Amino acid sequence: MKICNFCVMDEEDSSIIFDSNGCCNHCSKARKNLGIITNPHGFEDWVFKIISNRNLKETYDGILGLSGGLDSSFALVKLVESGIKPLVYHVDAGWNSPESVKNIYNLVTKTGVDLQVEVIDWEFVKELQIAFLKSGLHNQDIPQDYLFLTHLLKTADNLNIKNIFTGSNYATENILPTNWGENALDYKLILSVMRTFGVKAHPQLLPFNNFNFYLKKNILKSLIVHEPLNFMQYNGTQARKYLQENYNWQDFQGKHTESQFTKYFQEVYLPVRFKINKKKAHLSSLIVNNEIERATVLNILHQKSDDFLRNSFLRKYIANKLNIDLETLSKYEAPMQKFNARKFKRSKIQFYIIRFLEKVIIMLNSRVRRG
């Protein structure tokens, strides 16, 4: 199997393309965009703009979704340490690891921020998650991700909060093939899966219109999404050490694995069903960010570990939590020679319009710069 000469992405990804130097399209694009999307020395200026535009009548400068994972945790402490006042928001969909709960408690206690928690009805989450497992779709994290963002946006709207702070960053998330998963904010897709497998509507499943969200964020500017980690020289290894030393933060040994289900989805479901190893993309992103050597990553991927035993316990946990047996879970994980996702409806028209508007905006901005 051919592997990239710069990162560790390989031909398990059907969308990979190699250039004459043996480098793949993913890391080539990531290296090109790293200096465009990020501004390693812009954090102080960004903080000044947030504080100088502060509405003194408002309690908060913005809202930050906190999962207890590395990126959102580090974003929180950097905001607070720089004088920004966020409302911290957490959605509990029933999959929190013990470490994530402790991290949220320690961070909120030590920073003194206000925390608001939305607990989702577990019976609904369970039914929705089983329906997605039955669907066989790539992105089994859609139920969690959709609930997280839609409830955060609703809270921001209710409290008239304009600024949305996130831990999203390009430094450690610069490689992820689009064919590895479906859009997590496709409301039409979620409804289609629910109807197919008999899941009833629930008041906590909030409707979401991608086109309206795009207009508010990019045209009307009534909602501003900020990624503060993109305005600094963000290094996950250094951030992890800082949090551990100053906030008693506990590590998860994996990206986004503060959720027990996400851990299962990334480490068991995707590799078994679709031969997709997200760890390769995560580690390749760190190579691009000069955070780890390629040789070290190859050793990590090749070394023997206790994955089998660990994943056996993880599968038992997931099955018990969903109240299904291991045999049923195995059927959901089973590889398929041909997978047809077209039987589920999508919000295609919305996304086509958004892509068109994005191209128009890029063209207009380039004309302004040339002028």
Overall domain count for the chain: 1
Confidence check: pLDDT of 371 > 60: no
Of 143, 91, 123, 98, nearest to 322 by C-alpha is: 123
Tell me the C-alpha distance between 9 and 297, whole Å: 11
Per-residue pLDDT, 50: 97
Per-residue pLDDT, 259: 94
Q: Which domain holds residue 189?
A: 42-349
Cα maximum dimension of the chain: 64
Q: Which has the higher per-residue pLDDT, 362 or 22?
A: 22
Residue that has been written with the tokens 């928690």 in this structure: 117
Per-residue pLDDT, 339: 63
Tell me the C-alpha distance between 131 and 199, whole Å: 7
Is 319 a member of any domain? yes
Identify the weakest region by mean pLDDT among 172-186, 214-228, 351-365. 351-365
Per-residue pLDDT, 38: 94
Contacts of 5 (CB under 8 A, 6+ apart): 21, 22, 23
Is 354 a member of any domain? no
pTM as predicted? 0.92
Which CATH number is 261's domain given? 3.40.50.620
Per-residue pLDDT tens over the stretch 125-142: 999 999 999 999 999 999
Contacts of 42 (CB under 8 A, 6+ apart): 231, 232
Tell me the C-alpha distance between 49 and 229, whole Å: 15
Per-residue pLDDT, 33: 93
Per-residue pLDDT tens over the stretch 93-104: 999 999 999 999
Is 35 a member of any domain? no
Is 255 a member of any domain? yes
Is 98 a member of any domain? yes
Is 356 a member of any domain? no
Is 20 a member of any domain? no
Is 15 a member of any domain? no
Tell me the C-alpha distance between 317 and 334, whole Å: 18
Q: Which pairs with CB-CB distance under 8 Å and at least 24 residues apart come from 323-330?
A: 323/126, 324/130, 329/133
